[in-house]
Structure 1
């Protein structure tokens, strides 16, 4: 049996809901989307990791999936801080907002953020992962 290479080396998941983290992580593994999956239940901790490693591209994820509604720091608050990170990091990482929200204002706000590639309603699907390049 040959190993199928994953589409991306590293994927970061930021979601305070551990069940959603588990389901998304399983979907990523099942579809060979990410080799290494960094899971964070805290946007603040994820941000610290990104800040600490912003010049170390082997540690940085190519894809970041971030939830909107989380305690202490929401996905939108995370994006405001993310915007202050290095431009090289922002070129390397593609951010997708993943949320159970179908609020038009949330979707518009996510789509208006220049650092957000797309908004996706939970849960992510095989088709959604296949469309990411």
Structure 2
């Protein structure tokens, strides 16, 4: 009997591009990666949600995928604010930068941020999701 239970209860996607949000959520669903997918087109709104639910772990995503280039608040600006959240939240939520950028400075900046697990060029793949699942066991 195959176990079709998703690997994570909640996954948060933050990307101003609704097509990318749709494609990424479909890949996550198809690969049984997340039961519930919280989609945000605004990093500010996603941050507000995280801030309001810092102690409510049932509401928090275990995995956060965030784009770099977005209006109002970029992925890197989001990470500066994310760093101010509780240590328990940061231990529970694992952040991955998902970007169409291949700029070496962006990749270095992501790799230098202790709150970012990894940098992945869009679009996410089944292999990438499997690598996260095996890391989080």
TM-score (norm 1): 0.98
Partner of 1:6: 6
Does residue 113 of structure 2 align to residue 120 of structure 1? no
TM-score (norm 2): 0.95
Partner of 1:108: 108
Partner of 1:50: 50
- Tell me the SS of whatever aligns to 1:131: helix
Alignment of 1:32-71 (within 5 A): 32-71=32-71
> What do you get for the CA RMSD once the two structures are aligned?
1.1
Residues matched between the structures, number: 133
Instruction: Report Cα offsets for 1:60-117 as digits up to 9, x if no partner.
Output: 0000000000000000000000000000000000000000000000000000000000
The Cα of 1:2 is off from its aligned counterpart by 7.2
The Cα of 1:48 is off from its aligned counterpart by 0.1
The Cα of 1:4 is off from its aligned counterpart by 1.1
Partner of 2:73: 73
Q: Which runs of 5+ in 2 are unaligned?
A: none
| Structure 1 residue ranges (4+ consecutive) displaced by more than 3 angstroms after TM superposition | none
Q: Which runs of 5+ in 1 are unaligned?
A: none
User: Could you tell me how far apart the structure 1 residues matched to 2:61 and 2:71 are?
Assistant: 23
